[in-house]
Chain A
Amino acid sequence: MMIDWTAFTPWSALAGGVLIGLAAALLVLLNGRIAGISGIVGGLLTPKPGDIGWRLAFVAGLVLAPVLWLAVAALPPIQIEAGYPLLIVAGLVVGFSTRYGTGCTSGHGVCGISRLSPRSIVATLAFMTAGFITVFVMRHLIGG
């Protein structure tokens, strides 16, 4: 393994992580809900009365965050190398699997591990491992 020290951004990563943790903390302490993004979005597809507004508001907050950022400073880079066919496949797989496995990076990775939930620890190990393997295959076996 070779670490790319030029790309390493420990302080912004930690600071961003603290903000994400703060958001998860606020949602559970104020609204009593888990900040799991796939779960919050998925719940909008089978809407129950009285359970829609906060979900929409949360998603709106995520989408508006870069707009708020732009009012103050230039956006950090967002580089998307994947082409459209790959993005469609990836989106379908992410959408289906996160609902099937009841969570993604936020629900299992952040909230679940914070709660020391065995299910979330297993799910996080599973998606991290699959992510490492997939990138290895895409970049070093297929991409070359």
Chain B
Amino acid sequence: MTTRTVELSLATPGLDPDGRPTRIPLGLGHEPDVDLGDFGAEHMIVNIGPQHPATHGVLRLVVELEGEIVKRVIPHIGYLHSGFEKLGEYRHYNQIIPLTDRTDYLSPMANNVALALAAEKLMGIEVTPRCRVLRVIACEMSRIISHLVWLGTTGIDLGAFTPFLWSFQEREEIYNLQEAWTGARLTTSLTRVGGMMADIPEGWEEGLRSFCRTFPKTLREVDTMFTRNAIWIGRTQDVGVIPADEAINWSLSGPMLRASGVPYDVRKDRPYLDYESYDFDVPIGEHGDIYDRYRVRLEEMFQSTRILEQALDRLEPGPINVEDPRVILPPKHRAMSDMEAMIYHFKQVMEGVPAPEGDAYLGVENPKGELGYYFVSDGTAKPVRWRIRPPAFINLSILPSLCEGVLLSDVIAINASVDIVMGEVDR
């Protein structure tokens, strides 16, 4: 038996004339007759994903194992690549909004809001107060559902099944509210540049208020199940530790960054949508391990509930769209009866809303981390470049370095703690 120690030579990439990669990494680059150091110590390569219960979509991890110890993890992504950034270059700004539903599909409303904000920054539009409050509500609802999915699936990854269904039942409540508001449960397309697609329906606030009352109870139940559970603590504490300087160096954002003790929350530090006027706290971890990430996300859900209650209190009647006929479509009845409105309607639908030349980057605090939209405009109604700064993609990039030398079970736990959604990683 020859030693099959795996050596990956990271030379330059390329294809030979047959279309095969010229780099063959796991080959027997060296003859085993000399090196008998780890004779018989065969490494096993296990392919986790793209179809695997714990990869949260179509992530594929090639894991090199020595027994149960992980020597190396190579993530392969791109299975869900849809070319959203390319598609965005062929669309008006408002037409891009449906694309954002489909990137991070666990928090579509927050993506919609981020896109509208970025486009408004590019165009210099200031939205109405009611619109701002509604957008805050949308963002925080998204944060709760996204974190709930994370909580449930992480529980499953660590073997605890029951909290998954508890959290998904709460998530269902928000989806019902989302459906009542936007007509869609997943692909909300809630915002428009300069306003919202729709105001909240009558009696909707009461639904959200009752959710804010009941939701913390469920959350506390999950808290009881996990936070002081010895097995949970043993599985999460001191696993996948990211020190603060590493977290910054790897450009991590969101709960991943804050769990490592870096107090940076876009809502606090670069406020948008009047977040500075809301009273909420930002949980900061201390050790940067899975447990701290769990605690940070759990606490963020409580804080989001606080923000939601405050936002509901300050929700006052008023317009949801800016008074600018160049940006906002006129009501249908006016477009059919009023010549001027009809012209604006026609121009907007056919030509779109032109943005001034320039570029704008806007980052918002999405559940997964800092979601940034970077628009480059050449003065036309379609962006030259629409760049998504995908928090999950960047957070995921640290995975291989976290997984060296841990156990196979820890790979699953660490991967879960990163909170990825493949729609956003692959875009």
Bound pair (A, B): no
Chain B residues within CB distance 8 Å of chain A: none
